[in-house]
Amino acid sequence: NAGVTQTPKFRILKIGQSMTLQCTQDMNHNYMYWYRQDPGMGLKLIYYSVGAGITDKGEVPNGYNVSRSTTEDFPLRLELAAPSQTSVYFCASMGNTEAFFGQGTRLTVV
Amino acid sequence: QKEVEQNSGPLSVPEGAIASLNCTYSDRGSQSFFWYRQYSGKSPELIMFIYSNGDKEDGRFTAQLNKASQYVSLLIRDSQPSDSATYLCAVGYSSASKIIFGSGTRLSIRP
């Protein structure tokens, strides 16, 4: 099925651990995004990419890193996890007339 | 200063009525505007996008853009209980590639 695939769906991390959230899209979209959503809040942009090899910071990039080696993949790396990074993370991709979000990753840092 | 502002609600509208959702933004150079719907515990879904001043209609939904007033709205006609959700306004900055969201408006359609 076409769309945005995020893995994992759930994860519990200990403070100081690292992990990579995976995001893959099969629609050949150039634009991809990572957002976080805290309970009852809107989406905050972490990083975005306008194409392979190009990434840029969003509103809340501290504590995260991204790479975009291919059009399809846009992984998000958390280094030295902190409780403040407990959130739901969404990956999205956008074409000229459409946009799709992944199912989200619920991350808890304890 | 928040870049995209929405009233958090909740907005309660009777079934069959028109629901009106509003959004203001701070950057006059913004060129792309989006409305998403998000059900509780689910991912956001794109309802509409609008790039030009004026109205854009898609079924029961109408997006209205006024760049001079830095204002974008979403009208939902013949509101249904299934329209009860959080509606997120998003604005494209930096040549439309940096998409910033507002905090969302909770809409409740009462039967």
pLDDT-derived band at B93, boundaries 50, 70, 90: confident
Specify the pLDDT at position B31.
87
Nearest to B33 by CA among B75, B2, B71: B71
Mean pLDDT (10-residue bins), chain A, 110 residues: 88 97 96 94 95 95 97 96 97 92 97
Q: Do B44 and A90 touch (CB under 8 A)?
A: yes
Q: Which regions of chain B does DSSP assign to beta strands (E)?
A: 4-5, 11-14, 19-25, 32-38, 45-50, 54-58, 61-66, 71-76, 85-93, 98-101, 105-110
Q: What is the DSSP letter of B81?
A: G
Q: Are A59 and A69 in contact (CB under 8 A)?
A: no
Q: Which residue of chain B comes nearest to A5, CA vs CA?
A: B43
CA distance A31 to A25: 10
A100 inside 8 A of chain B by CB: yes
Predicted confidence (pLDDT) per residue in B12-45, tens digit: 999 999 999 999 999 888 889 999 999 999 999 9
Chain B interface with A: residues with Cβ < 8 Å: 6, 34, 43-46, 49, 88, 90, 94, 97-104
